[in-house]
Every structure is written in C-alpha cells, then in structure tokens.
Amino acid sequence: MKFVDEAYIDISAGDGGAGCVSFRHEKYKEFGGPNGGDGGRGGHVFAVADPNLNTLVDFRFSRRHDAKRGEHGMGSDMFGAAGDDVTLKMPVGTIITDAETGEVLFELLKPGEIITIAKGGDGGFGNMRFKSAINRAPRQKTPGWPGEKRNLKLELKVLADVGLLGMPNAGKSTLISAISNARPRIADYPFTTLHPNLGVVRVGPEQSFVVADLPGLIEGASEGAGLGHLFLRHLQRTRLLLHVIDMAPFDDGVDTVAQAKAIVNELKKYDPALYAKPRWLVLNKLDMVPLEERAALVKDFVKRLKFKGPVFEISALTREGCETLIKTVYQHVKAQQKAEQTPEAVDPRFATDSE
C-alpha cells in the first residue's frame, strides 16, 4: 500500500430537520390542540484512531464526507429521526488542522480514541413547543439548524519511541529488521527506503518499544533535497534519536565525519526542538573493518566529531552489539516515560497542614 502522510478532506455534518405544524383531529375532540413534533438532529462526523492503519491513503482518493440530515417532524407528536453519523477511521498520530487558518483542532494520540470533528445541527421546534395558556393554536415552527462544515488538513506523525536517522545506505533498514519485526526493503544502493517503517522491538516479556526507520537524509534535506525532508516530521514525537553511521563506505574518499555533521545541521535547520532531542551514535558495519583497526577507527571518528554522548559499535548484518544497544535504549525509553508521568495535583481541600 502506498504511504501517504498528508491529505485534505471536506466534511459536512447533517442539517437538523424542520419542525412541524400540525393539530390533533380526532372524533369528539373539537379542540385537540397542536401536535407537531420537532425535527431530528443532523448526523455528526466522528474521527476514530485505528491502530490497524498506518497511512492516510484512503483520504487521498475520498475527499468528501457528508453525514445525513435529520428528518422533519411530523404530526401526532412524532419527532423526526436523527441523521446517520459518519465515522472516519484514521491512523494513530493523525493531526487534524483547519485547512484555511492552519489552526490545530484535534490530535489522535490513543488507539480507539473518538472525537467529534463536525457536529450535526439540532432539529427545529414543532408547533407543540409554542403552546401556552394564551396561545392555544400556535402556528409557529422553526427550521433545523445547519450542521458544521469544515475543510480539514490531515497530517500523520508516526508514534515511535526511537527514530533512526542517517545518510542513505547507512544500514538503517538492516538494523530495524535485525532488532524488530519490521521487514523493510533492503538493497545495496541508496534510497531503498521510500517511506517510514515501524517495528516493535521485543526486549523481554511485556518489555518493548517502537522504532521508526526513515528515508535517508542528505545535505540540504531541510530545504527539500532528497526524500528525508518529507518525513522529518515523524521524528518529532520520538524520545530518542539513533544516528546510524556507515563506518565502511564503498567510496574510500567519503568523509564520514562531514556526513554526520551535515545530518546534525539538517536537524537543527528543520526544527531546533528536534535537534535538542537525545541523540546517540550507532557505528554500523564494523564487521567490514579488520578487528585490529576498529578501536583506532572508532576513537578517531568520535574525536573528530567531538561527540560526547553514548556511542555503540555494532554490525546490523551479523547482529554484533545489537543486544546491548536495544537493552540500553529500552532502559532510556522507560526512564523517559516515567519522567513524563506527572503526579496528579493534590486537592487543597484534602491537603494536610504540616504545622
């Protein structure tokens, strides 16, 4: 299925049905009085977060979504039926914004979460509503209220704990396939990854985290070069970035330090908050470096890069060092999750006086 992370839709909730003017006509009841019922409300438009979806492709080809209007009121005190609602299934992590103003209206962050994105109009009043002691035969009624209409932009930001970034052909796809259940396309040429891949990393019983593999970045990505700039938004909700470095490039003239600095600069240009996220170095493809040369190569690389964070030496192909990496990542993710859980505020009515 084609990956789509942006779409525009037009939605329209149903209008309310009109009220009815009617009078009771029964044998032996000369003054039956008004019995016109109210109109039914229009259908709502709901959005539900479906964990089984990971793309907005359905909305690329189906842009218009209209709920049914409510039925009109009828005589004999009969109210009109409510219009049928419309429920739109969207991936978890979808941001719903007003296409005209750019205002963020809703975010679907929890599986199964349901929100009302357009409210149906209320039904109009029938003439029985206007009955009073001085108005025994009212002929007033009101039309139904219109339903909400909106032009919306849908934007998907995948929900992952860890994001992999790096130059094309750095081995990110091989790494995510080695540590998780994801099976992305892997080949010996750049830009094999064309859309984000999500994988669940199992560390132990009831111990796991989600990792996202994005298309490779190149210098100028924040201005639109390459493919990565289209998907940098998917890193904004991660708790940790793993910067994967190819330590055995095919071209001996490639400066891996300069490439690593270029990636960091692209993050800084795109979003300072993304640049400020915890970022670890993952030195990959060390199985292609002679054992006696590895230590000196790694030391020289880290020194020239002036990197002071955690550094992991791995081979995604042989899975050497991957076990240590995922255990350390899991501990970091869990620590961040615990830190994000702020304690509930204490109600001052039940607070105890320490004096």
Residues 6+ apart with CB under 8 A from 154: 6, 7, 8, 9, 56, 59, 90, 94, 95, 96
DSSP 128-173: GGG--SS-SS-----PPPPPPEEEEEEEE----SEEEE-STTSSHH
> CA 5 to CA 90: how far, in whole Å?
11
- pLDDT, residue 341, reads 66
In a domain, 353, yes or no: no
Positive or negative torsion for Cα 293, 297, 300, 302: negative
Q: What is the residue whose two structure tokens read 């039904």?
A: 123
Q: In this structure, what CATH number is given to the domain that contains residue 309?
A: 3.40.50.300
pLDDT value at residue 221: 44
- Residue ending a domain, among 138, 156, 174, is 156
- For β-strands 279-284 and 240-246, DSSP reports them as parallel
What are the pLDDT digits (tens) for 43-85?
Answer: 999 999 988 887 788 888 889 999 999 999 998 889 999 999 9
What would the two tokens of residue 326 be? 């995922």
Range of the domain at 150: 6-156
For residue 108, being part of any structural domain is answered with yes
Which of 68-72, 108-112, 300-304, 312-316 has maximum average pLDDT?
68-72
Predicted confidence (pLDDT) per residue in 315-355, tens digit: 888 889 889 998 999 998 888 878 776 554 444 443 444 33
Contact (CB, 8 A) for 72 and 18:
yes
Condensed to tens digits (0 to 9), the pLDDT of residues 239-285 reads 888 999 888 887 777 888 888 888 888 788 877 888 888 889 999 98
Residues 174 and 149 in one domain: no
Q: How many structural domains comprise the chain?
A: 2
| pLDDT (0 to 100) of residue 92 | 86
pLDDT at residue number 182: 58
The predicted structure's pLDDT at residue 346 = 42
Do 15 and 148 lie in one domain? The reply is yes
Give the DSSP H/E element, type plus range, for residue 87.
strand 86-91
- Residue 218 domain-assigned? yes
Distance CA 111, CA 93 (A): 9
